A and B are shown apart, each in its own frame.
Chain A
Amino acid sequence: MSNAAAEKIILGKTLAIDADGNLVNMADWNEEIAGELAKEEGIAELNGQHWQVINFMRKVYSETGDSSSIRKLTKESGVDTKTLYALFPKGPAKKAARIAGLPKPKGCI
């Protein structure tokens, strides 16, 4: 779990965020907050396929403690690569992790 770097008010709640702007506490997350985070990422509304990816990421995180890489998403989420980039433009793994209330995937070192 990453360290808190700042606070942010979403839907009237004050939430701790890390240096990448991702939520620090998984418990702070809910579906409404996901909707707000999605808007910040330029996604007006989350549809069923978005949720398929978000739920997949949360499941993997609860099992492994890691946010999925793009490769894990393309291999295992059930959504193909082309669609992933259409759903979460430019950075599917990074954006989906943020919307799912998880830390940034660690592939970027």
Chain B
Amino acid sequence: MKDLVILGAGTAGTMMLNKLYKLLDKNEWKITIVDNEKNHYYQPGFLFIPFGVYTKKDVVKPKKQFFPGEHEMIESEIFKVLPEFNKVHLNNGIILDYDILIIATGSRTAPEETEGLKDKLWYKDIFDFYTLEGALALAEKFKKWNGGKLVVNITEMPIKCPVAPLEFAFLADAFFEDKRIREKVQITYVTPLAEAFTKHKCSEVLGHFLDDKGIELEAEFNIARIDNENKKLISWDEREIDFDLLVTVPVNKGADYIEASGLGDELNFVPTDKHTLQSLQHKNIFVIGDASNIPASKAGSVAHFASEILTENILSYINAMPLAAKFDGHANCFIESGHGRAFLIDFNYDVEPLPGKFPLAHLGPFSLLKESRTNHIGKLMFKWTYWNLLLKGKELPVGSAMSLDGKILDNQQIKEQFITDTQQIQKLSGGI
């Protein structure tokens, strides 16, 4: 009997378990999955909690519900991997042997990395929305808040779901408009990057949305510390930004055991072959989801596309065949823009986001790189898709390789289409 061990039963680990459970011979392979949390969190839903759209019950379900058959999980924190011995030590004392190891322990927020962040003002005037506790605390704060300087901030790249902070700023604009206190709220978007979007193409086409919504941009701002007394962000080059309410995305890091096992880079992400998803250090270790260092967005959609490739490559590895399936870095993200509208972007390692239509059976077409109501519905439907199809490793109405069908490559057309669209949008409006 051989052992395949999956570390982490989040989005990526659960998908891999479901896929491999179906395909591996049960007389030959035993699959073990480890996680320290009983519950599965639908993290994309955290974005909507501060605005009262989702509550806790929308985003939490027992992990067991998504495992195949009666499959059990070992509930324990992972302590250390010993790659030379093909063993994993768990905090509960269990030692697991493996023939193949899949690392899927994701990325976590590390507010302790920034001086003054997890201090006197934490969850009083400083919040994150990347954790359930943070999102829930912020929802309470928003119920009572009467306005002032709202600063939305990314501490350091990379972060998971790199567009979420911008979506947060857009939703905040709409939220305070609906509350009729928008004129009392000054929104500033503070990023270490040179522009608002991580993809230059998006900034080019969508950058003006910040101006239109009256959101100020402070780019290339790298936080050195937070002054809790005077409520200021202070950068390494001594620039200062005042806030009344700070909503930040703290530094993102891979799990601590990765560091203890000597498997990670400077942020505990595992160096991984971006095409085959095999660890660069150890041939029998594979990495999927936010835990890897591949130059793709850290997003559930990316993990989904990658899971199809990884499944094929694990089967090849077992059969001593070359790892022929190649991941192209495909990402597909809805970006909420407020008032019940959203954009959709689709890109991979080599192709920048392009405007056009995304051909999706039954649901689409969704408009790429432009705002529409259908896209917003798509984003909300993602929750259903996530719980019911994606986690269970079922087919989604999208394939893993990015398709260029339906995309507009001509720039002039992009601009014209965009202008007509924006005019239309200005006439329309609706609630979230």
List A35-94 residues whose CB lies under 8 Å from chain B.
64, 69-72, 75-76, 81-82, 84-86, 89-91, 94
A106 and B295 form a contact (CB under 8 A): yes
* A11 close to chain B: CB less than 8 A: no
* Least CB distance, A104 to chain B, in whole angstroms: 10
Provide the B122-158 mask, 1 if CB < 8 A to any CB of A, else 0.
0000000000000000000000000000000000111
* B296 close to chain A: CB less than 8 A: yes
A69 and B266 form a contact (CB under 8 A): yes
* B188 close to chain A: CB less than 8 A: no
Pick the residue among A64, A94, A107 that contacts B158 (CB under 8 A).
Answer: A107
Q: Which residue of A lies closest to B302 (CB)?
A: A109
* A27 close to chain B: CB less than 8 A: no
Q: Which residue of A lies closest to B331 (CB)?
A: A109
With A70-B156, A82-B236: A109-B266 Cβ-Cβ less than 8 Å: no
A108 and B157 form a contact (CB under 8 A): yes
CA–CA, A84 and B200, complex, Å: 25
Give every chain A residue within 8 A of B220 (Cβ-Cβ). 90-91
12 A-B pairs within 8 Å (CB atoms) are namely A69-B267, A75-B266, A76-B266, A81-B236, A85-B222, A85-B237, A86-B237, A91-B194, A94-B194, A109-B199, A109-B295, A109-B297
**Which chain A residues have a beta carbon within 8 Å of chain B's beta carbons?**
19, 64, 69-72, 75-76, 81-82, 84-86, 89-91, 94, 106-109
A72 and B266 form a contact (CB under 8 A): yes
Give the secondary structure class of A's interface.
helix
Give every chain A residue within 8 A of B158 (Cβ-Cβ). 107-109
CA–CA, A107 and B155, complex, Å: 13
Give every chain B residue within 8 A of A91 (Cβ-Cβ). 192, 194, 220, 222
Pick the residue among B162, B192, B236, B267 that contacts A109 (CB under 8 A).
Answer: B162
CA–CA, A70 and B155, complex, Å: 12
* B224 close to chain A: CB less than 8 A: yes
* Least CB distance, A42 to chain B, in whole angstroms: 12
A71 and B236 form a contact (CB under 8 A): no
Pick the residue among A71, A94, A108 that contacts B198 (CB under 8 A).
Answer: A108
* B20 close to chain A: CB less than 8 A: no
A107 and B157 form a contact (CB under 8 A): yes
List B200-224 residues whose CB lies under 8 Å from chain A.
200, 220, 222, 224
* Least CB distance, B258 to chain A, in whole angstroms: 14
Q: Which residue of A lies closest to B265 (CB)?
A: A72
CA–CA, A71 and B224, complex, Å: 13
CA–CA, A42 and B296, complex, Å: 31
CA–CA, A72 and B237, complex, Å: 19
* Least CB distance, B117 to chain A, in whole angstroms: 15
Q: Which residue of B lies closest to A82 (CB)?
A: B236
With A109-B198, A109-B295: A90-B237 Cβ-Cβ less than 8 Å: yes
